[in-house]
Amino acid sequence: MDAPKTRYALRDGNHIGYQIWGDGPVDILEFNNGLMISIDETYDEPNWLRYEESLAGFCRLIRFDALGLGLSDPLPTGWSPSVEGWARDAMAVLDDAGSTQPVVLASSGGTLPAVWLAANHPERVASLVVINGTARVMWAEDYPIGVPQDVLDSIPLNIEDPPMAEGEDVPMDIVIYVPSLSHRVGFREWWGRAARRGASPSTAIAWNLASFSADMRGELASIACPTLVLSRTEAFADLVEHGRYLSEAIPGAHFVTFPGADMLPWSGEFDSMVDEIEEFVTGTRRGHAAERALATVLFTDIVDSTVQAAAAGDRGWRAVLDEYDVNVARHLARNDGVLVKNTGDGTLARFASPAQAVRCALAMVETARNSGIEIRAGLHAGEIELRGNDIGGLAVHIASRVSALAAPSEVLTTGTVRDLVVGSGIVFDDRGRHNLKGVPDEWQLLAVEQV
């Protein structure tokens, strides 16, 4: 799908940026998830992009940034973020897009304005779909399933230097909202950059405070449209119980649970949720054949890249990387490898042949030395998920973990790769069995000694 054109609706003279994805027979208005990441960042996050494209495959999907965030104008002087204001932004977008009565789709914090809109303007809402949503965030005596204050205090309110999760090397907000992507190559960098672009620190705090203090429970009984509530069973702060509460308080609501810990719908396995939404909205399911393939995954990173960059200076370091990247592309071409992405200080590639992957990795190590740098490389063979030009799945995660354990100028592989290249003449040195963070069981690792 080509990147959609950004359009602007007006509310009291203020511009609200929105986009229309797809051209299906049904309109779906999507409220953002309560984070300050703009809809314009979607094309740089493969999981998010695939989720939105899946939705847009059966509808005309209308997405927008509320006033004060992303593509939209800053909040005017004297205005503060509010649930009602967010919903009124949505109505202005619907008017501009010529949508009279769409299905309203909301997840996480976006549930709050969606509930307000469905309860106070039923003429604008055909039906309501909620994912990992809540009518109230905070604990109260009459809402014991709410998030306790001490837990709420641990959630970062702004995007300035968010705290790390206890015992993890991952920011707390990523562990809460998208744990399945916490160790994916390049994700942490995208997340931080997208959050900073979406809102300033003060704006982020104001939005979070508005969401955390909101209470929409009194509106639920007024919702008369068909409603579907979806919840993941292991999400942060037992959000599944918030979903259950919504389904019991909204007349006639249908409640469906799914396994998983991710709060945002586009992280983790989401095809089954999209299928449920499609059937609710259209009455049928198209089905989604998984795009998977067997491949050998190569992950590399430059040793002490930050130190070397500082020593060389921006221009000098850029010249080193440019030369190295050109040579890597040549090695990949010679070995039938596919460059998935450059990660800033490393490379992610895939191969049909494990032997060619090993040979290419060794050639890349030698090229790096000739350029005055050292890399470490990790290889694993397994089933990957094809996501456009990107790849995902456990095999990528394992290759990344193996690479992190490699010594400078070393190519380290799993036993799976060794078993697949028997008879190729490649010689390995056994490095024992290791636990790979986030991966079940122990894994035998071997260093490539000779090809």
pLDDT digits (tens, 9 = 90+) for 311-324: 878 788 788 888 88
pLDDT at residue 350 tops 90: yes
β-strand 292-302 against 375-387: which pairing, if any?
antiparallel
Whole-angstrom Cα distance, residue 347 to residue 367? 13
Sole residue written with tokens 């990387």:
321
Beta-bridge mates of residue 69 = none
* Domain spanning 292-450: CATH 3.80.10.10: no
Whole-angstrom Cα distance, residue 314 to residue 447? 33
CATH 3.40.50.1820 placement within the chain? 6-282
167 dihedral zone (left: phi>0; alpha: psi -120 to 50; beta): left
User: Average pLDDT for residues 117-137, to the nearest whole number?
Assistant: 97
pTM above 0.75, yes or no: no
Mean pLDDT across the chain, nearest whole number?
90
What's the confidence (pLDDT) of residue 306? 76
Which strand (E) or helix (H) includes residue 15? strand 14-21
pLDDT at residue 162 tops 70: no
Other beta carbons less than 10 A from residue 449's beta carbon: 11
Which strand (E) or helix (H) includes residue 194? helix 187-198
Other beta carbons less than 10 A from residue 255's beta carbon: 18
pLDDT at residue 158 tops 60: no
Whole-angstrom Cα distance, residue 132 to residue 33? 10
Which strand (E) or helix (H) includes residue 8? strand 6-11
pLDDT at residue 171 tops 70: yes
**Percentage above 70 pLDDT, the chain:** 94
Residue 345, classed as helix, strand or coil, is coil
From residue 350, alpha-carbon distances to 303, 408, 411, 433 in Å are 21, 21, 15, 24
Q: Tell me: the pLDDT tens digits for 70-121?
A: 999 999 999 999 999 999 999 999 999 999 999 999 999 999 999 999 999 9
Q: Write phi, then psi, for 30 (nearest 5 degrees).
A: -105, 120
Residue 340, classed as helix, strand or coil, is strand
Whole-angstrom Cα distance, residue 198 to residue 255? 32
Whole-angstrom Cα distance, residue 355 to residue 450? 12
CATH 3.30.70.1230 placement within the chain? 292-450
User: Average pLDDT for residues 372-394, to the nearest whole number?
Assistant: 87
Whole-angstrom Cα distance, residue 374 to residue 407? 10
What's the confidence (pLDDT) of residue 126? 97
What's the confidence (pLDDT) of residue 388? 65
Whole-angstrom Cα distance, residue 39 to residue 46? 13
CA neighbor of 128 nearest in space, from 42, 23, 249: 249
How large is the angle between the packed helices 111-120 and 83-97, nearest 10 degrees? 70
Tokens for 406?
């490699």
What strands, in cross-sheet order, belong to the sheet with 254-258?
6-11, 14-21, 60-64, 27-30, 103-107, 127-131, 227-232, 254-258
Confidence of residue 279 (pLDDT cuts 50, 70, 90): very high
Lowest-confidence segment of 240-249, 305-314, 347-356 by average pLDDT: 305-314
Which string of DSSP letters, residue by residue, matches 45-110?
Answer: -HHHHHHHHHHHTSSEEEEEPPTTSTTSPPPPTT----HHHHHHHHHHHHHHHT-SSPEEEEEGGG
Q: How far is CA 392 from the centre of its chain?
A: 12
User: Average pLDDT for residues 298-325, to the nearest whole number?
Assistant: 82
Tokens for 355?
């032997």
Q: Tell me: the pLDDT tens digits for 25-61?
A: 999 999 999 888 999 999 889 889 989 999 999 999 9
Domain topology for 6-282: Rossmann fold (3.40.50)
Any idea what DSSP says for residue 148?
A: P
Handedness of CA 71, 15, 84, 81 (dihedral sign): positive
User: CB–CB of 136/129 below 8 Å?
Assistant: no
User: CB–CB of 327/347 below 8 Å?
Assistant: no
Most confident of 23-32, 156-165, 370-379: 23-32
Other beta carbons less than 10 A from residue 290's beta carbon: 8
User: CB–CB of 64/93 below 8 Å?
Assistant: yes
- Let me know if 77 is exposed, middle or buried by CB neighbors in 10 A (0-12, 13-18, 19+): exposed
Whole-angstrom Cα distance, residue 243 to residue 260? 14
Q: Tell me: the pLDDT tens digits for 101-115?
A: 999 999 999 999 999
